[in-house]
Each structure stands twice: as structure tokens, then as C-alpha cells.
Structure 1
Amino acid sequence: MANHALLNNIEHRHLRIDSRHAAALGDDVMSAPTFPAEFRNVQAHYPIVFHKAADGAMQPLALFGFQQGENLFLDGERWDATYVPLAIERQPFLIGRDGDALMVHVDLDHPRVRNGGDEALFREQGGTTEYLDRISSVLRALHEGLETVPDFMAAMLDNDLIESFALDVELDDGTVNRLVGFYIVNEERLRALSGPALEALHRAGHLEAAYMVVASVARFRDLIERMNRRHVARR
């Protein structure tokens, strides 16, 4: 269970964070939230899909595997990609509010905290370390980026550009996996846009993001190859 606390240089001056990547540190996840300004970096490695939350809101996700608890980019204590989505990199920290101010909070029960590690948060003199400065920057970018998601998704839905999809994956050993429950951008409808609709998407910055989502579909081939390699390694 999470145990969130407002980070400060008195109570947490000796806190150390384990910044490695491993299943035991919470990285064994199928996906992570992303946002339009991150799509360019994400699509270079991961498929971008959409998932409908319980409240009906649509959320873009960077996809790491085909089933819950599966991250095909985890290789021991290494994340096998040159870009790690911000929603993963920020762990075990999160943004919280103190009145109108946004403040850094830490989950004291997160395994990255419980296990300890090499990354200090505060210097002996009380200032913040480069690591914490980086985390603060990540949290700001993530917070601001996620705030843009509703407008982007509204534009996609208003133009009827979102469609559900299912992917059947047959591996080299004959096993079949099926990915369902997600949505993608309909490329044909996107290409068919013209006039005011196309201009509105472009002016809002949504057009480029939509094409990044389309481009990311090619990364499914990489996911399948990673799953094939993992199945071979388990034999």
C-alpha cells in the first residue's frame, strides 16, 4: 500500500533511492501513461495505444508487453531501450499539492525506497542533488503533459479518429497471444481529413501527435520479436 509523504530535507535527508530497473522494483508493468509531447520519444521504441478508464476517459499508453505484469524491455536489471517513459522514470516520486503549489512527494513504501540505493536526494549542506533536480524536472514535465491529454483525446474523438483493435500474435513456437481492450488512431480517416478539421488539428498541435501514434504501430514487430526471444530463453 502506498505511503505518500511530502519530501523535505529534514525528515528525508538520509533517504537513498534504488534507481536500477528490475521487476522487484516495480518495473514489471505492461504499460505506462504517456502524453502528446512525449510521443516523439516514445514511438521510437514502443507502440502507443489508448485505453478507456473506468470513468470513460481515454488515456494514451506506452505499451511494453502483451499481458499484465509483462515488460519485454526488462532484461535483468537493465531497461533495454534508450528512452524510458517519464511515468516510469519518476518512480517512486509523484506530484502533490500544497494549496496551489505543486510539491514533490515520495512513496515511502515503494520498493525503490525500502531497498535503499545509491541515489541521495539531499546534499550534506541541505541542497538538492542532481538526481533530485532531474526527478523534479521529470515530474513537472509529466504533470504538464498529462494535463494536455483531455484536449488531445477530445480532438481525436470529435474527428472520429479512434478505433478499437485486436491483435493476434502467433509466436515462432506456435503459441498464440491476443491483445484486446485497446484503441489506435484510424490512419485512413486521419489521411482523409481536409479543410477546417485538418487546420484545427494542426494549429492545436494535435496533428503531429496523431501521426506519431500511427508511426508507433510499427513497434509491434519489435514487441513480437522480444516475446519470441523470451520464449526461446525459457526453454
Structure 2
Amino acid sequence: MPNHVLLNNIDHKSLRIDTGHGAALGDDVMFTVTFPAEFRSVQAHYPIVFHKDAQGELQPVAMFGFKQGSNLFLDGGRWDATYVPLAIERQPFLIGRDGEQLMVHIDLDHPRVRNDRGEMLFRDQGGTTDYLDRITSVLMTLHDGLGGTPAFMEAMLRHDLIESFTLDVELDDGSLNRLVGFYTINEERLRALDAAALDELHRAGHLEPVYMVVASVSRFRDLIARMNRRHAAGH
């Protein structure tokens, strides 16, 4: 169970954060949430699809694998991509509210939290380290970006651009894998939008992210290749 507390330089002055990568650090996940302003960076490596959250609301996610607990970008202690989505990079921190003010919180039970090694959060005099400053910036970018997601999703649904899909993957060894429960952009309906609809999406800043989602579909080929390599290696 997460143990979220408000970060402060008294109780947490000796905490360190393991910034490496690996399954033991919580990185072995099938996907993570992303947001329209991040799509350009994400689509260079990962398919972007849509998934219903616990409240039944559609949200964009970056895909790392085809089954729960499988991240095909993890290679031992290395993340095999030049961009790691911010929702992964920010671990074990999160934004919380203290009244109207946004504050940095930390999950003390997260496997990245240590006392013996890793990045320090506070200097000896109590000030924040460059690492914590960077994380705070990541958290604010993530907070602002996720705040723009509902308007993007509303526009997608209003123009009937979201459709469910099933992906059947046959690996080189003959094994079959099926990806279900995810949604994507209906490219036929996107191409059929009239000039007024396209102009509306463009003015709202939604048009570029839509095309980034469409472009990202080609990254499924890379995921399949990674899964084939993993199966061939016996993992």
C-alpha cells in the first residue's frame, strides 16, 4: 500500500532516491499515463492508445508491453529508450494539495526510497538539491499536462474519433497474444472531418496530438520485435 506524506526537509533530510531502472524498482508495468503535450516525445518510442481508468474515464497511455507486469523496454537495469515518460520519471513523488497550494508528496513505501544510496533530496543546510528541483519541475509539467487531457478526450469523443481495437500478435515461435481493452483513433473518421471540424481541433491545440497518436501506432512493430527477442532468449 502506498504511504503518501508531504515532503519536508526535517523528516526526510536523509532520504535518498534510487533513480535506476528495473522490475524491483516498480518499472515492470505494461503502460503508464501520458498527456497530449507529451505525445510528440512519447510517440518516438511507444504506441499511444487509450484505456479506461478506475472511474471508467478514457485516458491516453504509453504502451510498454502486451500483458500486465511486462515492460519490454526493461533490459535488466536499463531502460532501452532515450525518452522515459514523465509519469515513470516522477516516481516516487506526486503532487498533492495543501489548501489551494500544490505541494510535493512522496510515497515512503516505494522501492526507490532508500537511506543508503541514491540521489539526495536536501542539502545539509536544508535547501533542495538539483535533483529535487528537477523532480518538482517534472511534477508540475505532469500536473498541468494531465489537466489538459479531459478537454482533449471530450473533443475526440464529440467528433466520434475513438474506437476500440483488438490486436492479435503471432510471435515467431507460433505463440499467440491478444491485446484487448484498449482504444485508438479511427483514422477513417479523422480523414472524413470537414474543414470546420479540423479548424476547431487545430485552434484548440488538439490536431497535432491526434496525429501523434496515429503516428505512434507504427511503434507496435517495435513492441512485437522486442517480444520476439525476449521469447527467443527464453525470458
**How high is the TM-score relative to the length of structure 2?**
0.98
The one-letter code of the counterpart of 2:212 is: M
The whole-number CA distance in structure 2 between the counterparts of 1:88 and 1:116 is 22
The whole-number CA distance in structure 2 between the counterparts of 1:189 and 1:40 is 22
Q: Secondary structure at the match of 2:97?
A: strand
The whole-number CA distance in structure 2 between the counterparts of 1:63 and 1:138 is 20
Q: Is the 8 A contact 2:16 2:116 kept in 1?
A: yes
Asked if residue 123 in structure 1 is aligned to residue 126 in structure 2, the reply is: no
Counterparts of 1:147-158 in structure 2, within 5 Å, are 147-158=147-158
Q: Is the 8 A contact 1:18 1:115 kept in 2?
A: no
The whole-number CA distance in structure 2 between the counterparts of 1:115 and 1:227 is 36
* Aligned counterpart, 1:76: 76
Q: Is the 8 A contact 2:72 2:223 kept in 1?
A: yes
* Aligned counterpart, 1:179: 179
* Aligned counterpart, 1:35: 35
Tell me how many residue pairs correspond in the alignment.
235
* Aligned counterpart, 2:221: 221
Asked if residue 9 in structure 1 is aligned to residue 9 in structure 2, the reply is: yes
Q: Secondary structure at the match of 2:112?
A: helix
Q: 1:114 deviation in Å?
A: 4.3
The whole-number CA distance in structure 2 between the counterparts of 1:70 and 1:115 is 28
Q: 1:54 deviation in Å?
A: 3.7
CA shift in 2, pair 1:65/1:115, >3 Å = farther
* Aligned counterpart, 1:18: 18
Q: Is the 8 A contact 2:15 2:114 kept in 1?
A: no
Q: Secondary structure at the match of 2:94?
A: strand
* Aligned counterpart, 1:45: 45
Q: Is the 8 A contact 1:17 1:116 kept in 2?
A: no
After TM superposition, where is structure 1 displaced by more than 6 Å over at least 4 residues in a row? none
Once the two structures are superposed, what CA deviation does each residue of 1:37-63 show, in whole Å capped at 9, x if it has no partner? 000000000000001224231100000
The one-letter code of the counterpart of 1:196 is: A
Q: 1:115 deviation in Å?
A: 7.1
CA shift in 2, pair 1:83/1:116, >3 Å = farther
The one-letter code of the counterpart of 1:97 is: R
Q: 1:196 deviation in Å?
A: 1.7
Q: Is the 8 A contact 1:31 1:61 kept in 2?
A: yes
Sequence identity percentage: 75
The whole-number CA distance in structure 2 between the counterparts of 1:25 and 1:105 is 18
Q: 1:116 deviation in Å?
A: 4.7
Counterparts of 1:93-112 in structure 2, within 5 Å, are 93-112=93-112
Q: Secondary structure at the match of 1:111?
A: coil
The whole-number CA distance in structure 2 between the counterparts of 1:115 and 1:45 is 33
Unaligned runs of 5+ residues in structure 1 are none
The whole-number CA distance in structure 2 between the counterparts of 1:140 and 1:117 is 26
* Aligned counterpart, 1:163: 163
Q: Secondary structure at the match of 1:164?
A: strand
Q: Is the 8 A contact 1:94 1:106 kept in 2?
A: yes
Q: Is the 8 A contact 2:163 2:184 kept in 1?
A: yes
* Aligned counterpart, 1:197: 197
Once the two structures are superposed, what CA deviation does each residue of 1:72-114 show, in whole Å capped at 9, x if it has no partner? 0000000000000000000000001100000000000000014
Q: 1:195 deviation in Å?
A: 2.3
Q: 1:177 deviation in Å?
A: 0.3
Q: Secondary structure at the match of 1:174?
A: coil
Q: Is the 8 A contact 2:14 2:115 kept in 1?
A: no
Q: Is the 8 A contact 2:22 2:76 kept in 1?
A: yes
